[in-house]
């Protein structure tokens, strides 16, 4: 790792180190370069990210990333209205599905959260989540991974609001991971090539 915190790959491009520290480096690299930190909007899209981050709790992200196609197939593309209609039989099906993480509590929480989300008006989940995006101008630019905190006041407030509305498995750490992944914050390191792209996408 360089003193600036980034890692330069054989392709000569500097990246955040987490995108280079896996045997599945190509998977992480693609996710880092083309998704992480770019703005995500839409109720269903944000519901998917919220759900996947909840499933990731206690596991490595590569475990979830490699199973994302299986998750999407199992959870009807994370369409909120469809998941909210899941029955006990669907829950049993999911518990037997090797394409996802078969955690009973997380499966139940995902179905429950879809039901909660259906009580919101169209676009309200998007507006709710994005209302907790901090002022980008006031945030210091991280130079090393040590500068990136796992919990922030905004993620704590977002988690509290979501829990108050009935959502489950949305603690402050999970909420911040979602904020990072969905571009509410730009935690690409200062010298990472993707930082400029993420910033332009957020402000353009």
Of the residues 31, 79, 130, 199, only one is catalytic, namely 31
Q: What are phi and psi of 14, to 5 degrees?
A: -75, 135
Active site annotation includes 176 = no
Of the residues 28, 53, 154, 176, only one is catalytic, namely 53
Distances (CA, A) of 47 to 34, 43, 44, 145: 19, 6, 5, 27
What single-letter DSSP state applies at residue 119?
A: T
Q: Is 182 labeled as ligand-binding?
A: no
Q: Is 16 labeled as ligand-binding?
A: yes
Burial of 122 (0-12, 13-18, 19+ CB in 10 A): exposed
Active site annotation includes 18 = no
Question: Distance (Å, rounded) from C-alpha 193 to C-alpha 53?
Answer: 24
Active site annotation includes 61 = yes
| Residue numbers belonging to the annotated binding site for Zn(2+) | 16, 32, 188, 192
Residues involved in catalysis: 31, 53, 61
| Residue numbers belonging to the annotated binding site | 16, 32, 188, 192
């Amino acid at each position: 790792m360089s003193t600036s915190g980034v890692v330069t790959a054989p392709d000569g491009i500097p990246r955040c180190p987490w995108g280079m520290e896996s045997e599945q480096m190509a998977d992480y690299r693609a996710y880092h370069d083309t998704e992480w930190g770019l703005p995500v909007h839409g109720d269903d899209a944000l519901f998917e990210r919220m759900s996947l981050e909840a499933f990731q709790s206690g596991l490595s992200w590569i475990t979830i990333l490699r199973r994302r196609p299986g998750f999407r197939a199992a959870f009807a593309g994370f369409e909120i209205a469809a998941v909210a209609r899941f029955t006990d039989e669907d829950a049993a099906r999911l518990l037997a599905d090797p394409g996802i993480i078969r955690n009973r509590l997380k499966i139940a929480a995902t179905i429950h959260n879809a039901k909660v989300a259906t009580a919101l008006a169209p676009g309200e989940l998007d507006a709710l989540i994005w209302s907790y995006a901090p002022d980008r101008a006031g945030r210091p630019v991280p130079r090393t991974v040590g500068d990136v905190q796992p919990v922030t006041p905004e993620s704590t407030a977002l988690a509290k609001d979501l829990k108050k509305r009935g959502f489950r498995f949305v603690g402050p750490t999970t909420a911040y991971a979602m904020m990072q992944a969905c571009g509410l914050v730009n935690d690409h390191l200062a010298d990472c090539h993707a930082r400029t792209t993420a910033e332009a996408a957020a402000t353009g």
